[in-house]
Structure 1
Amino acid sequence: MNEQELKKLKLLSAKIRVNVIKMLKNLGHGHIGGSLSIVELMSVLYGKQLNYDPENPQKEDRDMVVLSKGHGGPGWYSALAEAGFFNRKLLFTLNQGGTRLPSHPDRRYTPGVDMTTGSLGQGASVAAGMATGMKLKDSEQYVYVIIGDGELNEGQCWEAFQYIANYKLNNCIVLIDDNKKQLDGTTREIMNQFDIAKKMEAFGFYVQKIKGNDEAAINEAIEKAKEVKDSAVCVVLDTIKGQGIPFFETLAGNHSVKFNNDEINHAADEAIKQLEAFIGGGRL
């Protein structure tokens, strides 16, 4: 990836991040931590890696994304809006009556969403099924499944991983958002994950562990994953809940935030101001 391409991805990341903050502040609450921790990943997927057409969301040979950690929906919606699947104004209808953007993704309502998610643990199984279908059709499509580290408490994830590894579904790229926190605290406190990368290796995956806020590293890892022909593939992204906004990174209850006090609203406004200055100064 050249310098110009990387610059475009960093601008896209900033746009996705500012969208997330604006839409959740407008709503007054929402899952900001896990939405922000996948921003750079979404930027690379929609800015570089995915085969998609926003004018034809049901394109036959499209790559598919399964956001198994459905509470990160605002991060996905922001990326879809920037990719042209729908008008950005729709972001401000998040989780409101009659919206096409429910709190958790729903394939019946949102262009670009191929799988309804939110019940944690199910996305890996669905992605495995999608990848199997693609293999049976000799398709060159990929399915990217994004799984939260807290979600790995669900046994269904590990059953699906066993299946993916056994059948060497290298067209199913497993992306684990290791932001080290879940709803009620840290993953170490609630259910110690130990070394996720080593676990995935033990299950039979080719595993890469990278910094999840580095667009170049994410892109390179996906490229390497696509070169693997004889095993399942996994990328563990070392991220931070609330990634990219220091105030939200350090906020104790940053899984879901209520914009109901001056401190939080001021932090959001300052983040928006800084991100928009970066975007304005970096236009290509």
Structure 2
Amino acid sequence: MALNFQQNGSAFIRRVLFAVCIVVSLVMVTLYAREGQDGPLHSVQAAVSGAVAPVAYVGTAAGSGVETAGQSIGDLAADASTLSQLKEANAELVGLLAQAEEYRQEAQRLQGLLNMRDAYDIDGVGARVIGKSATAWDQTVTIDKGSAEGVDSGLTVMGSTGVIGQVVRTTEHTATVRLLTDQNSGAAAMVQSSRAQGIVRGSLEGLLYLEDLDARAEVQVGDVIVTSGLGGSYTRGLIIGTVVKADAQQGEATRRVVVSPNDEATSLEEVLVVFNVGSATDKQNGDSNGDNGGDAS
């Protein structure tokens, strides 16, 4: 019986407390509604709100931080992808610029050969240098044109500004050119202004010498040296270079001078193999004579 009394008493107390809480809540609501902003209940509310605000801020900041971090990671991934694309585009542009510069330089060199061909009215074939000798005593280059293209031993070879050598060997589609600077080379030449004649020879040091000049020949620094055509080794009248030193004595009856080649053979990439050389002036004279002959007849 005691046990049943305690259980019944506890239930009664809970009901009483519940009723008291309801009454108190109604009273508090009524008082809160009737009092002003400076009332005690409003003050308690403000104090509680201030106390829990930092906790709410931390939660909000944490959520915002997570969201910002996620957005930053996304932006970082986007930036890395964009940077990679920019690097690829930049590399492609650099390659295109390099290729364009190669084309520009090649066009400039080929234009030089065309100008030389037109100036001397040359009939010949252009060729690329595909090999070079690395020894001082064998200064030769290999070109990509041979007997199949009409190239034969003995033909004169020119760069964009002058004679550079002579064909000495051929295969079907290649040829070996001995440069004027080779110590075994020799080209009959003359001083263009005075017509004094000699032989241009190379040397181990890579210099050109115009030798066997008459000791009384008039030669000045800056005089142009051209092929004379004597002996048939080189086509006549093509520029070789200019005199840079004219006081070297070779012997009692002859002298020699130092000649600077008009074209740097070491930097050659394209050349012109000369089949024969015409003369625009001769052609004009021939046409004029032909016209006069026609009138006379």
Same fold (TM over 0.5): no
What TM-score comes out, normalization by structure 2 length? Answer: 0.22
Query: TM-score, normalised to structure 1's length?
Result: 0.23
Rg comparison, structure with higher value: 2
Q: Per residue, is there more strand in 1 or in 2?
A: 2
